[in-house]
Amino acid sequence: MAVRKHVKRRRTDETFIVGWLKDNLAKDRYEHSLRVRDMAVRLAERYRVSVHKTTLASLLHDTGRSLPDAAAMNTFLKQNGITFPREHVSKSLLHSMAGVVIARTTFDVQDETILDAIRWHTTGRANLSMLGKILYMADHIEPGRHMPICKDLRKTAMHDFNATLRATVRLSLEYVIATNRFLAKETVDFYNELV
Ligand SMILES: [Fe+2]
Ligand SMILES: [Fe+2]
């Protein structure tokens, strides 16, 4: 009699994660996540950062977007015992915190460097790890970002990381101000550290 072997798939298995993203994210967000992974991994190889950690952080960075809106993200965070400063009200900021909880609970990621990179991928912050900087950069200038400057930054990223990061943060600051969005003080700290 054939015995069916029970194969327990690791929750950090890349195929498992990609399948989850496909099932739980909107198509454009799913495709963005794969492009961020591809770009972040190229940067990790170039700048000698763990490809494994980079793969996990980049694939999981937008899992918080699986929640439909800011109210659902707020509820999810409260259910998981997460309190946050009052200014953290926008969906774009809440989803990075929700992503940390999902990475921990659904995918059993406990590595603080990975979780920290996910937590700060939207705003950045001073003293970010190299993994965090790579994720921030890849998220903001991946090939799906069609502004002409992003095309230039994707080229300079491979040989002048710091100047490219500074230009990426400046681009984000300009966008936040031009569109009347909440400017996180962490982004200002991040920029000041780079100039
Ligand atoms: Fe995001
Ligand atoms: Fe993203």
**Distance between Cα 29 and ligand 2 center (Å):** 7
**Distance between Cα 94 and ligand 1 center (Å):** 9
Q: What pTM value is reported for the model? A: 0.93
Handedness of CA 36, 39, 42, 46 (dihedral sign): negative
**Distance between Cα 64 and ligand 1 center (Å):** 8
**Distance between Cα 122 and ligand 1 center (Å):** 6
**Distance between Cα 77 and ligand 1 center (Å):** 16
**pLDDT value at residue 102:** 97
**pLDDT value at residue 179:** 94
All domains in the chain, ordered by first residue: 14-194 (1.10.3210.10)
**Distance between Cα 193 and ligand 1 center (Å):** 22
**pLDDT value at residue 169:** 98
**Distance between Cα 46 and ligand 1 center (Å):** 23
**Distance between Cα 65 and ligand 2 center (Å):** 9
Among the bound ligands, name the one nearest to the CA of residue 32.
2
**pLDDT value at residue 1:** 46
- pLDDT by 10s per residue, the chain, length 195: 444 555 556 888 999 999 999 999 999 999 999 999 999 999 999 999 999 999 999 999 999 999 999 889 989 999 998 876 655 566 778 999 999 999 999 999 999 999 999 999 999 999 999 999 999 999 999 999 999 999 999 999 999 999 999 999 999 999 999 999 889 999 999 999 999
